[in-house]
Amino acid sequence: MAPPVQPPVQPSSKPSARIRTADRTWTVGELADELGVTTRTLRHYEAEGLLTPRRAGTNRVYSARDRARLRLILRGRRFGMTLAECREIVDMYDGAASSERQQLTTLLGRLDEIAADLHRRAADLRRTLAEVEDVAGQCRRRLGQLEPG
C-alpha cells in the first residue's frame, strides 16, 4: 500500500508570528501604547529631532532604531535628564564619532550626578517626613487633651 499523498504546502498569507524586532515597525499609536506615552509626546520628540520616523503617506512609521532611541529618551527623562542631555546620550549610541569608552564615561558621569541628587532628595524627604510625623504627634496629643471627659 502506498503512503497517502500529502497536499502541497501553500505559502501563508499571514505574517510570521515571530517578527524580529529589528525588522518590526510601529505606528505612532502602537509605539505610544507599548511604551506608555502619548502620541503627542512622540510628535514632540520628532519635532525636537530626537526621533526620525519614515513616512508612509501621512502615517509615521517607527523603526526598531526609533523605538530604541525612545526607550533611552524615556529612561533619561525618568532619571531627571533634560532633552538636551537625552539627545547627547542617544546620539552617542547612534554612531556618533566618539569612542565607546567616551560614551560610557559621559553617561556614567551624568548617572553619578543623578544618583547624588536623588540621595540628597531622599535625605530631604526623610527629614520632612520626620517633621510631619512630629507635628502630627503634637496635634494628636493636643486633641487628646481637648477631648471632653
CA distance 142 to 65: 61
Cβ(45)–Cβ(73) under 8 Å?
A: yes
- pLDDT tens for the 149 residues of the chain, in order: 554 544 444 444 444 444 566 688 999 999 999 999 999 999 999 999 999 999 999 999 999 989 989 998 999 999 888 999 888 888 877 665 557 777 788 889 989 999 999 999 999 999 999 999 999 999 999 999 997 75
Three-class SS state of 149? coil
Which residue in the block uniquely carries the three cell numbers 505606528? 27
Half-sphere exposure of 94 (CA within 13 A, CB side): 18
Cβ(51)–Cβ(83) under 8 Å?
A: no
Q: What is the pTM of this model?
A: 0.64
Give the pLDDT score at 10: 45
